[in-house]
Structure 1
Amino acid sequence: MQKHFNTAGPVHAKQHYCIDPVSRVDWEEIQYLIEAGKFFVLHAPRQTGKTSTLFALADKLNQAGDYTALYINVEAAQAARNDVEQGMRTIASRVVEGAQYRLHDLRLQDWLEDAWRTGETSVLQTLLTRWAAESSKPIVLMIDEVDALVGDTLISLLRQLREGYIGRPDVPFPQSVILCGVRDVRDYRITQGNQEVITGGSAFNIKSASLRMGSFTLTEVQTLYAQHTQATGQVFDAAIFPALWEDTCGQPWLVNALGHAMTWEYKPARDRTQPITLEQYRAARERLIYSRATHLDQLADKLKEPRVHSIISALLAGKTTDDTLPQDDVQYVADLGLIEARPQLRIANRIYQEVIPRELTWTKQITIAYEQAWYLTPQRRLDMPKLLEAFQQFFRENADAWIERFDYKEAGPQLLLQAFLQRIINGGGRINREYGLGRKRTDLYIEWPIDEEQGFYGEVQRIVLELKILYKSRETTVVEGIQQTAGYADQCGAAEAHLIIFDRRPDVVWDDKIWQETATTNGREIGVWGM
């Protein structure tokens, strides 16, 4: 069977290129926690490899012979919400089915009927107690997708596990329980049927540790791609890997999705004698972003959550510093995989930097009537002064109404310009984005191929735009912004550079907000635009 890059579901070593899941966690730490009889949490962002790791841990424990380890997934009980009986029927049945099919233990089906006589609020505890009493080995139970549960069902699950833990050793119960999900249990905000809100930490205060799975390392990314080369003989240009690392920071789904896009979705690459070039990688990256794949849709959906909104909005607007943001919210958004908190607060990787503003402005992009051809010179170069003049007028006519409709109003001016540019440049060039928390600016780097046939293999027009909100005086903002813009242009090797300053003061009339001038610094000419 020909292996391939996995973009959906758990890893299967016979089918997929993969990194050993056990190597991605601290196995020594997990062994210690299990031997000590601890209940703990393993969490990581979606499509990072949690389920694959749990399967691998269960196999390793069972093969060693010291424990009976069982993996179950309880996501199906989400629909029960506050119906504890329905939720517990689903969860208990997952234990029974798991024991039957994964461990070939048929006894739990009969025990479940007896356990139900104790009622839905203790049926799982009773079933696990009976199993532990009848088992010749200590039991390790791994419960996946716990944080998908809501309401009284989740509260009941956590409390039954807690009561079983507290009753040991007098009353038999599993040696160790591992709760697995996207979030740490401390971040569960559970609304009961009576509308009382309980935190996961209070309902499950027996947690001994929270282990977080990280992304791939650069070495693991290279090892994964080397497996494709070893299997097929097809090589990747070494220049791909620095770009791949910056774009993904090792996020496993992104790494696999880009591998799949390069080696299969790009049909000429199915000829394995053809090497994969850096430009083919960049094209695959753009296709992935445009595809709005399920993983990226799930990411965009998280942007609607209030706790996520506050952090991402601050990053997009660049108007605050990380010490002014709620620490719990920062950690929560980091646990979701949307940001990195160290060494500096930032959006997690370059692909997410691209996806987030595109998703936030999608409806704006498709309703902007401007066309790309209007802003091309006869030499097929982008006429940036003409484009920015048009945006000045567009912004004057639409800013108040459109920004008011943005969920992310604080970053509205920057997002509106990005929507406008995306509408013009999409399908021909690229826009790269940088956000600086506390720097009060957003940097855009535009790459535009001059020759359509040669594309990015030929001459490329490179343009830097620096976006700033006016907080200080106009003069101070211009002086600071010119230096920053020139520095960013030098860094990118861009021949053209523009500084755009948004004035959102309500007491200033539009005629005073709209202006344009040219500045020169160190021999570089910079267009300065007021909006």
Structure 2
Amino acid sequence: EKTKITNQVSKRDCFEDLANLLISNSGSQTTPATQRVVIIIDEFDGIPQTVVSDFLHSLRRIYLSGVDSRCPFSLGIVGVKSITQLNYDRSISPFNIQDEFALPNFTLEQVQELLAQYTEAVGQVFAPEVIKALHRQTAGQPFLVNRFAQILTEELNIPKTECIDMTHFSEAHTRLLRERNVNIQHLITNIRKNRRFETLLMGIISRDRGVDFNLDNEYIDELSAYGVLSEDPDGFCKIANPIYQYWVMEMFQLTINGWEGEYFQDNKILVKPGNTASSTVNKGN
């Protein structure tokens, strides 16, 4: 809603080019199209609902008409929510025009494979404990994994003949915790959308009570969609990864009574009685 178009000429040229592209690739009943045009719209759930409603009606008419002329072959929308989760016009049924999929986090094996590609290309190796710690701290969140690896391989200026070890990992981890990259900024923005999120997250972190991971709860469902919450083996809510937990604690300046380091038990994080969680920095594992 805050986005402003600064160049009207470029906007007009863009839509004219798109129309020409659709015409040139539309084909006919006797001559099939030589190319297919696929449109991908990012941040779809951030578009004003009044605009999206008309857009969805147009898609619906295209789908029902069965006409290929001057129409995109397919449309991909990218966002944290699907059409069915958004509060749009319920007269528009999305079930027969959409196919959705979620991008899961990397497994440990996938992180190992990713870093092995770097080793193969450059020759620099990672200590096995570094790879495990990187996956543990990020829980395989794709942006965090890649940003962590970027700091290790590009920004710390580690000689390429030197093995990347836990000392390097600790330095990269501290740097990652202290920066507000785009992923962390989105995390902060999403959490601050609703004051009820703070109450829920503080209850989960302080472990005063277990909170069932119930997606019928609109707040849990929304935080899960944002990638903030996930389900632990016992069916309770947990913060998706230790890096997110650190930032949640930073945001709310959460004071933890007693030794509440269980979530970080493998990561050597302990919070002393009376200290705020924001004063702790995980040094690595």
TM range (shorter): 0.7 to 0.9
TM-score with structure 1 setting the length: 0.43
Q: Offset of 1:129 from its aligned partner?
A: 8.7
Aligned to 2:99: 209
- Partner Cα distance (2:134, 2:120) in 1: 20
What is the distance in 2 between the residues matched to 1:312 and 1:202? Answer: 35
Output the CA distance in 2 between the equivalents of 1:325 and 1:208.
Answer: 22
Aligned partner of 1:155 in structure 2 is 53
Q: Give the Cα separation in 2 of the matches to 1:141 and 1:327.
A: 35
Residue 282 of structure 2 corresponds to residue 416 of structure 1 = no
Q: Deviations over 1:67-119 (max 9, x none)?
A: xxxxxxxxxx87379xxxx9xx95x865654x5xxxxxx834xxxxxxxxxxx
Q: 1:293 to 1:349 in 2, by over 3 A?
A: same
Looking at structure 2, the residues matched to 351 and 218 of structure 1 have their Cα atoms a distance apart, in angstroms, of 17
Q: 1:79 is paired with a residue of what secondary structure?
A: coil
Q: 1:220 — aligned with what?
A: 110
1:136 equivalent to 2:33? Answer yes
Preserved CA contact (<8 Å) 2:25 2:33:
no
Q: Aligned partners of 1:208, 1:221: CA distance in 2, in Å?
A: 31
Quick one: which amino acid aligns to residue 416 of structure 1?
T
Q: Kindly indicate which of the two structures has a greater share of residues assigned to strand.
A: 1
State the secondary structure of the residue aligned to 1:178. strand
For 1:158 and 1:336, locate their aligned partners in 2 and report how far apart those are by CA, in whole Å: 23
The answer to whether structure 1 residue 315 and structure 2 residue 198 are counterparts is no
CA offset digits 1:116-142 (Å, max 9, x no partner):
xxxxxxxxxxxx699646561574523
Q: Looking at CA atoms only, which structure, 1 or 2, has the larger radius of gyration?
A: 1
Q: Cα distance, 1:148 vs. partner?
A: 2.6
Q: Structure 1 residues 179 and 132, CA, compared in 2 at 3 Å: closer, same or farther?
A: farther
Measure, in 2, the Cα distance between the counterparts of 1:310 and 1:93: 48
Aligned 1:97-112 pairs, distance under 5 A: 97=17, 99=18, 107-108=20-21
Once the two structures are overlaid, the 10-residue window that deviates more, 150-159 or 251-260, is 150-159
Q: Which has the higher contact order (CA 8 A, sep 6+)?
A: 2
1:296-307 mapped onto 2 (5 Å cutoff): 296-306=184-194
CA shift digits 1:433-467 (9 cap, x unpaired): 555xxxxxxx78996xxxxxxxxxxxxxx856589
Residues 187-198 of structure 1 aligned to structure 2 (within 5 Å): 187-189=85-87
1:212 partner SS: coil
**1:325 Cα offset (Å):** 6.7
Pairing of 1:66-465 with structure 2 (within 5 A): 79=3, 94=14, 96-97=16-17, 99=18, 107-108=20-21, 132=26, 136-137=33-34, 139=36, 141-145=38-42, 146-168=44-66, 173-189=71-87, 199=88, 202-203=91-92, 205=94, 206-267=96-157, 269=158, 271-306=159-194, 308-309=197-198, 311-318=200-207, 319-322=209-212, 326-341=216-231, 343=233, 344=235, 345-361=237-253, 415-417=254-256, 433-434=261-262
What residue identity is the alignment partner of 1:305? Answer: K
Equivalent-residue separation in structure 2 for 1:142 and 1:249 (angstroms): 31
Q: Which amino acid aligns with 1:149?
A: I
How far apart are the structure 1 equivalents of 2:64 and 2:232? 37
Shift of 1:291: 1.6
Task: Give the deviation of 1:320 after TM superposition.
Answer: 4.8
Partner of 2:277: none
C-alpha distance after superposition, 1:229-248 (max 9, x if no partner): 22222111111122111111
Q: Is the 8 A contact 1:330 1:341 kept in 2?
A: no
Give the count of matched residue pairs.
262
Once the two structures are TM-superposed, the CA of residue 187 in structure 1 deviates from its matched residue by 2.7
Could you tell me which runs of 5 or more consecutive residues in structure 2 were left unpaired when the two chains were aligned. 275-285
Summarize the Cα distance change of 1:95–1:80 in structure 2 as closer, same or farther, 3 Å threshold: same
Task: Return the offset for 1:285.
Answer: 0.7
SS in structure 2 at match of 1:142: strand
Partner Cα separation in structure 2 for residue 170 and residue 294 of structure 1: 39
Give CA-to-partner distance per residue, 1:346-378, whole Å, 9 cap, x none.
Answer: 1111111112111333xxxxxxxxxxxxxxxxx
Question: What is the aligned-residue identity percentage?
Answer: 24
Secondary structure at 1:297 match in 2: helix
Taking the aligned partners of 1:131 and 1:171, their CA distance within structure 2 comes to 8
Q: Is the 8 A contact 2:191 2:198 kept in 1?
A: yes
Contact kept in structure 2, 1:432 and 1:444, CA below 8 Å? no
- Once the two structures are TM-superposed, the CA of residue 335 in structure 1 deviates from its matched residue by 2.2
Structure-to-structure mapping, 1:457-476, within 5 angstroms: none
Structure 1 portions without partners, runs of 5+: 1-76, 100-105, 109-127, 190-198, 362-414, 422-430, 436-442, 448-461, 468-531
Supply the distance in 1 between the matched residues of 2:16 and 2:260 (Cα, whole angstroms): 51
8 Å Cα contact 2:152-2:168 kept in structure 1:
yes
TM-score by length of structure 2 reads 0.74
Partner Cα separation in structure 1 for residue 141 and residue 78 of structure 2: 18
| Partner SS state of residue 161, structure 2 | coil
